[in-house]
Structure 1
């Protein structure tokens, strides 16, 4: 089943305990981010101490309800411009309650190579994220099979990653 609109938003509103994402691509082409990326390239930065938007407010709501939202981001160094831009927003997201972890596969085997991006909700439902090679999203699809492999992918990602704040210590991001 292809997922969009209200049905997609309901996944984030209705999960009971955990919404978790695996991000595998070096870059995502998101039309809403184009202006922000141009500003980032021009030297503009957000203040992570004061930055608030709909996403950070939702993270606070989720945390206050005893739920968790998290992700593991696979990266290689040197960090691309896109990753440095994305990391700028990760700090306020972490402070708002998101468990963001970084799995750096520079100079080592990527044990999740070939696994596509996905969201997993309550370890019961998986939504596969479909992208073009350049990172343009072309669809979302509710996975109809056994979610056990995705639970294992999450376990591997968590075991082989570090918390975002630990990863960026000493980095200029």
Structure 2
């Protein structure tokens, strides 16, 4: 399996036409660049979120062009410290235009998740960027998938989960 880098995956945000949807299924990630901000957040120290600016700029550019960026985070309750960190960082992303929703794992319907339960980005219902991680949640890269049957399965999962997920402003951490 060939993987593209996170930077190469991020380039896809400049090329999609209508909709980018992310399904997140992990309760912790080891994302390069987040270790320091996560540690500062855990200590209660202020963070200007400068490290988040490239992502916010991508979201702003996409949504300013009339495209949709949205995400469902499937989470275990009570939530992990990392999920609390993500929740705290969500407002600037919402302000940039991304629609983020939360789905407690115990409220998730019994479905057979495609791609062995991996996270994925779905672009325009035609291209998947499947996240690959090591055992500690560190990003290894993304696998690009265009197989129409697999894409259709992911579209169906999105359509099933999106209306069940709770919009950020309504979700209360437990």
TM-score by length of 1: 0.85
Distance in 2 (CA, whole Å) between partners of 1:160 and 1:42 is 34
User: Would the aligned equivalents of 1:128 and 1:140 in 2 still touch at CA under 8 Å?
Assistant: yes
C-alpha RMSD over aligned residues: 2.5
Alignment-derived partner of residue 9 in structure 2: 8
Q: Pick which of 57-66 and 105-114 moved more.
A: 105-114
Alignment-derived partner of residue 104 in structure 1: 104
Q: 1:38 to 1:86 in 2, by over 3 A?
A: same
- Structure 2: which 5+ runs fail to align? none
Alignment-derived partner of residue 167 in structure 2: 163
Instruction: Tell me by how many angstroms 1:58 deviates.
Output: 2.5
Alignment-derived partner of residue 117 in structure 2: 115
Distance in 2 (CA, whole Å) between partners of 1:84 and 1:78 is 10
Alignment-derived partner of residue 18 in structure 1: 19
Give secondary structure in 1 for the equivalent of 2:33: helix
Alignment-derived partner of residue 134 in structure 2: 132
User: Would the aligned equivalents of 2:20 and 2:121 in 1 still touch at CA under 8 Å?
Assistant: yes
Distance in 1 (CA, whole Å) between partners of 2:98 and 2:6 is 23
Q: Does 1:151 align with 2:150?
A: no
- Number of aligned residue pairs: 168
User: Would the aligned equivalents of 1:20 and 1:120 in 2 still touch at CA under 8 Å?
Assistant: yes
- Structure 1: which 5+ runs fail to align? none
Q: 1:107 to 1:54 in 2, by over 3 A?
A: closer
Distance in 1 (CA, whole Å) between partners of 2:122 and 2:84 is 25
Q: 1:97 to 1:75 in 2, by over 3 A?
A: same
User: Would the aligned equivalents of 1:103 and 1:161 in 2 still touch at CA under 8 Å?
Assistant: yes
Q: Deviations over 1:33-67 (max 9, x none)?
A: 1111110111124579xx97222233222111100
User: Would the aligned equivalents of 1:45 and 1:88 in 2 still touch at CA under 8 Å?
Assistant: no
User: Would the aligned equivalents of 2:21 and 2:122 in 1 still touch at CA under 8 Å?
Assistant: yes
User: Would the aligned equivalents of 1:46 and 1:88 in 2 still touch at CA under 8 Å?
Assistant: no
